[in-house]
Structure 1
Amino acid sequence: MATIKITTESVAALTKSAVPNKTTFYFDNELAGFGLYRTTTGTGTYFAEFRPVAGGSKKRLKLGRVGTLKANEAREAARRAIANAALGKDLAQNRSDERASLTVEELVSKYIEEYVAEHKKASTAGLYRMLLKKHVKPRLGSIKATSLTRVDVQRAHALMTREARVSANRAIKLLSAAYGWGSRHGHVQEGMNPASGIKLNEEEGRERFLTTAEMLAIGNAMIEAETIGLPVDAGTTKHAPKGQLVVMSPYATAAIRLLMLTGARLREILNLRWSEVDLERGVLRLPDSKTGKKTVFLPTAAVDIIKGLTKLGSYMIAGESAGTKHEKPRSDLKRPWAAICKRAGVNGVRIHDLRHTFASTGVGDQMGLPVIGTLLGHADPSTTQRYAHLADEAARRAVEAIGGKIAAAMNGGK
Structure 2
Amino acid sequence: MKLIKRNIEALAAPKEARIVFDEELPGFGLRMAPSGKKTFVAQYRVGGGRAGRQRRVTIGAFGKITPEDARTEAKKILARAHLGDDFADQRDKVRNSRTVSELIDEWSKGGVLINRRTGAKRQQVNINNDIALANHHLKPLIGNRTLESLSKGDIQLLRNRIAGGDTKTTRKGRRRGKINVTGGEGTATRTIRLFSSILSYAVDMELIPRNPALGIKLPPGGQRHRYLSADELRRLGEVLERPASTTTAGAAAIILRLLILTGARRGEIEGLKWSEVDFNFGMLRKKTSKTGAKVIPLARVAVEILDEQRRWVDRSQPWVFPAYRGDGHFDGLNKEWHRIRKLAGIEDVRIHDLRHTWASWHRQAGTSCDELKDLGGWKSRSMVDRYAKFATEHLAATASRIESVSKENVIGLSRFSHGATQ
TM-score, length-scaled by structure 1 = 0.69
Q: 136, 139, 152: which one pairs with 2:138?
A: 136
Cα displacement (A) at 1:290:
1.0
CA distance in 1, matches of 2:15, 2:374: 41
Contact 1:98–1:187 (CA under 8 A) maintained in structure 2: no
- Partner SS, residue 292 of structure 1: coil
Q: 313, 317, 323: which one pairs with 1:319?
A: 323
CA distance in 2, matches of 1:28, 1:410: 90
Cα displacement (A) at 1:293:
0.8
Q: Which residue of 2 aligns with 1:348?
A: 348
Q: Which residue of 1 aligns with 2:307?
A: 307
Q: Which residue of 1 aligns with 2:383?
A: 383
Structure 2 letter corresponding to 1:131: L
- Partner SS, residue 249 of structure 1: helix
Superposed counterparts of 1:275-286, under 5 Å: 275-286=275-286
CA distance in 1, matches of 2:17, 2:242: 69
Q: 79, 91, 98: which one pairs with 1:95?
A: 91
Q: Which residue of 1 aligns with 2:34?
A: none
Cα displacement (A) at 1:255:
0.8
Structure 1 letter corresponding to 2:147: A
Q: Structure 1 residues 169 and 273, CA, compared in 2 at 3 Å: closer, same or farther?
A: same
Structure 1 unpaired stretches of 5+ = 1-6, 13-26, 36-46, 65-75, 230-245
CA distance in 2, matches of 1:269, 1:121: 17
**Is 2:78 the counterpart of 1:60?**
no
Q: Which residue of 2 aligns with 1:146?
A: 148
Q: Which residue of 2 aligns with 1:261?
A: 261
Contact 1:362–1:372 (CA under 8 A) maintained in structure 2: yes
Contact 1:319–1:329 (CA under 8 A) maintained in structure 2: yes
Structure 1 letter corresponding to 2:102: E
CA distance in 1, matches of 2:16, 2:355: 51
Q: Which residue of 1 aligns with 2:202?
A: 182
Q: Structure 1 residues 374 and 215, CA, compared in 2 at 3 Å: closer, same or farther?
A: same
After superposition, what is the alpha-carbon deviation per residue over 1:25-66, rounded to whole angstroms, capped at 9, x for unaligned? xx988775589xxxxxxxxxxx964268xx9676621579xx
CA distance in 1, matches of 2:72, 2:204: 16
- Partner SS, residue 146 of structure 1: helix
Q: Which residue of 2 aligns with 1:72?
A: none
CA distance in 1, matches of 2:247, 2:128: 32
Contact 1:108–1:178 (CA under 8 A) maintained in structure 2: yes
Q: Which residue of 2 aligns with 1:219?
A: 237
**Is 2:205 the counterpart of 1:209?**
no
Q: Which residue of 1 aligns with 2:363?
A: 363
CA distance in 2, matches of 1:223, 1:376: 26
Cα displacement (A) at 1:286:
0.8
Contact 1:270–1:330 (CA under 8 A) maintained in structure 2: yes
Superposed counterparts of 1:280-299, under 5 Å: 280-299=280-299
Superposed counterparts of 1:15-164, under 5 Å: 32-33=26-27, 49-50=43-44, 60-61=54-55, 83-86=75-78, 88=80, 91-111=87-107, 113-118=109-114, 119-123=119-123, 125-161=127-163, 162=165, 163=168, 164=183
Structure 2 letter corresponding to 1:319: A
Contact 2:141–2:158 (CA under 8 A) maintained in structure 1: yes
Contact 2:57–2:88 (CA under 8 A) maintained in structure 1: no
- Partner SS, residue 296 of structure 2: strand
Contact 2:120–2:292 (CA under 8 A) maintained in structure 1: no
Contact 2:45–2:55 (CA under 8 A) maintained in structure 1: no
CA distance in 1, matches of 2:189, 2:223: 15
CA distance in 1, matches of 2:76, 2:14: 25
- Partner SS, residue 195 of structure 2: helix
Cα displacement (A) at 1:158:
3.0
CA distance in 2, matches of 1:398, 1:171: 42
Identity of aligned residues (%): 30
Q: 202, 218, 225: which one pairs with 1:200?
A: 218
Question: How many equivalent pairs are there?
Answer: 342
CA distance in 2, matches of 1:160, 1:205: 16
CA distance in 1, matches of 2:206, 2:340: 52
CA distance in 2, matches of 1:247, 1:117: 30
CA distance in 1, matches of 2:73, 2:192: 33
Contact 2:108–2:131 (CA under 8 A) maintained in structure 1: yes
Cα displacement (A) at 1:356:
1.5
CA distance in 2, matches of 1:316, 1:181: 34
Q: Structure 1 residues 51 and 81, CA, compared in 2 at 3 Å: closer, same or farther?
A: farther
Structure 2 unpaired stretches of 5+ = 1-12, 30-40, 59-66, 169-182, 412-422
CA distance in 2, matches of 1:338, 1:128: 20
Structure 1 letter corresponding to 2:132: M
- Partner SS, residue 379 of structure 2: coil
Contact 1:49–1:59 (CA under 8 A) maintained in structure 2: no
